[in-house]
Chain A
């Protein structure tokens, strides 16, 4: 199988999800693969560690312009004879992968959570309440990999970096402005997440939640009413109608565990629930639980996390 992988590397350092996708692609191919990217990123040779032998970069593309990027990906795929194209199932992947699939009349696995078994790919459906096996029958396949689905490979050497020199046509989408938010870990990629709900009573009490997150090196999240009441920004809202996450650790503080909330977080490896109501439904989905007042429990957790950090 000849495999190509498309990634977004515009940030300061290579995103973990991009490294995962390259690893996934090289495991699919059973050997080194070609990666395609865009923008001004440096240090792309390092993708060799995840199994890229070559990285093709289109320096001229700045916005996630799906038409330019579809042309880029399909052109390089044709040149390399690739019949499988791997993406990350993130904002950039979702802008380009469906286009590439439609253009090539390829079956598209949106959000693969593991390597395939035969020609079947496993993906989450019903917002994480179930999984489905998708069989791709077309000769060309497009696979978008969910972040946190595969450990990042570390064994390869350096990749060669090649600049794309073709003409991708005019950009039809332009970036007018980028407003930077807090520097923290992006939620969908985070391995550790500290999340809080209406039990925190008001936005002024989030200091403790943030402190625990900081001590653990975790991202922060919240339940939907918390975002709706503007206690926290919308991009922190997790659940069925928010971001779906699958971190190694999810700590839920003052969240009842409504089915719509669980839908977005129940794929977390370890779930801890802190709630003053022993009947809160979230305890049924938890690995560890504390029945208690968040305002008393949180300082104890922060203290213990500080102690652990001091010992490490």
Chain B
């Protein structure tokens, strides 16, 4: 089985969020970057588990980004991916990223393409579905469980009020949500091996430009918190009713 995992780079979850250039750019000053948790913990690890269970196949990661993403990409190799591809382009927007991924993947015959549920910086949840459409493949978003047998995938996903069990034939595109796998910490052997695994940089394809983020803003600061003594806790309910008017 040939699996492609879409790996993106995002600011660390504890990073201070600030903007520069008149609020048009993320301020990367002093920020540590990591592999997007959904891509690393769920998409990549499940891909590796499927390959290990089959005892054959390959796991390739693809990242659309500049040379500044190489260290993040190596983390994917240290966890166990066989090879990595980087499309040398700054990601600007979901369709652009999807078109870059498709330009690479279209003639490679991947059985499974797994994206993360969403990036934790852009929060779009778009790229996987766009890749699927451009490759004319089925797409299951927010998969929390994935099994493959005899060319068929069985997928679970949370829906309002329960869990849906779905079936689709390969090739298939998925986005991975919590539950699909358990996070793996790379060991020393993996980290050493990652140094010599192939990381191929390919030039960017021409893409469409349909949308752009023009500026950012931070949410307004909260006012002072109103404290209620613990022995009068019931007052909270009264205030939520009469003052905040939310219940």
Contact = CB atoms under 8 A, between A and B. Distances in A.
Please determine whether chains A and B interact with each other in the same assembly.
yes
Contact of B247 (A125, A174, A292, A308): A308
A110 B123 contact: yes
Given A130-B218, A241-B120, A102 B230 contact: no
A192 B246 contact: yes
A74 to B, nearest CB: 10
The B contact surface, by secondary structure, is mixed
B98 to A, nearest CB: 6
Contact of B244 (A63, A105, A259, A287): A287
Contact of B129 (A102, A172, A179, A284): A102
Interface in A252-295: 259-260, 263, 266-267, 269-270, 272-274, 283-293
Interface string A155-180: 00000000000000000111111111
Interface of B: 11, 13-14, 17, 19, 37-38, 93-95, 98, 120-130, 132-134, 136, 138-142, 144, 154, 157-169, 175, 178-179, 208-219, 222-223, 225-231, 233-241, 244, 246-247
A285 B132 contact: no
Contacts of A102: 95, 98, 129-130, 133-134
- Name the residue among B213, B214, B227, B240 with the largest chain A CB count within 10 angstroms: B240
A304 interface: yes
Contact of B142 (A91, A191, A274, A283): A91
Given A91-B160, A98-B98, 14 more contacts: A65-B138, A98-B94, A99-B129, A110-B126, A126-B121, A131-B219, A172-B138, A173-B168, A178-B159, A237-B178, A259-B14, A287-B222, A287-B244, A290-B230
Contacts of A176: 154, 165-167
A176 B69 CA distance: 40
B178 A242 contact: yes
Given A133-B213, A135-B212, A260-B13, A175 B165 contact: yes
Contacts, number: 277
B167 A178 contact: no
A179 B162 contact: yes
B246 A269 contact: yes
A242 to B, nearest CB: 7
Contacts of A42: none
A172 B137 CA distance: 9
A99 B234 contact: no
A197 interface: no
A273 to B, nearest CB: 8
A192 B244 CA distance: 13
19 contacts: A63-B166, A91-B157, A94-B129, A95-B129, A108-B211, A110-B94, A110-B123, A123-B123, A127-B123, A130-B219, A137-B210, A173-B167, A173-B168, A179-B165, A180-B162, A240-B120, A270-B244, A288-B244, A308-B237
Contact of B211 (A103, A126, A134, A287): A134
